[in-house]
Amino acid sequence: MNSSGALRWSIVLILLVSVGWKIAIPLDNPNDLKDELVAFFERNHFKVIVSDEMVNYTPIIRATTTSCRLQIARLTPDGSNRDLIRYFAMRSDRSFVVFRGTVYAQQPILWTVLNYIWSRVLRELGLIRHITPVIAVVADSSCDVERLPWGELYAVPPKATLSLRRPARRPTG
């Protein structure tokens, strides 16, 4: 067999393996995130309503208490729909982004994109089940939702994540 025939068969083999791999890995189920968000807010004593409006294949969730009103939506990792928050917010509302349990005033696009790429690789290798979501939250001015335990939301096993924080230094000696 000459080198061009070997090259063709190599390309065919690579394509077959690549396509087979993508077929074998199930798509990320948006209902998993919806269910996780609903459970999170119910654990934190919110009344939850899942709307018919969809953003990134995930419904917008409304969570309320007697003194607080929230709207929650999933953002794209690349930030292409980050202005969506402003669409839902009234003038007196506050908006922020939750990513990996941390509250940000604006979406940290560099980190969300890097984490998305890394999570996809790990997911395709079968090491994790879900890609870390980027969550937009709109809260009315009476809410103090930044203090919610956001780290509990959609927890990802630490061994399978891209560390975005510097490791703590351990004292020597």
Supply angle C-alpha 56, 161, 94, rounded to 5. Answer: 45
pLDDT in tens, 23-56: 655 556 666 788 888 999 999 999 999 988 877 6
pLDDT in tens, 137-150: 999 888 888 888 99
Distance CA(22)–CA(26), nearest Å, equals 8
Find out whether 60 and 34 touch, Cβ atoms under 8 Å: no
Distance CA(131)–CA(122), nearest Å, equals 9
Is 5 part of a structural domain of the chain? no
Q: Indicate the SS3 state at residue 27.
A: coil
Is 17 part of a structural domain of the chain? no
pLDDT classification of 159: cutoffs 50, 70, 90:
very low
CA 41 to chain centre: 16
Average pLDDT over the chain, rounded to whole?
79
Is 166 part of a structural domain of the chain? no
Higher pLDDT, 112 or 53: 112
**Long-range contacts of the stretch 121-126 (C-beta < 8 A, 24+):** 122/160, 123/25, 123/28, 124/21, 124/22, 124/25, 126/25
Range of the domain at 113: 28-160
Distance CA(72)–CA(133), nearest Å, equals 12
Contacts for 16 with CB less than 8 Å, ≥ 6 apart: none
Is 140 part of a structural domain of the chain? yes
Domain count of the chain?
A: 1
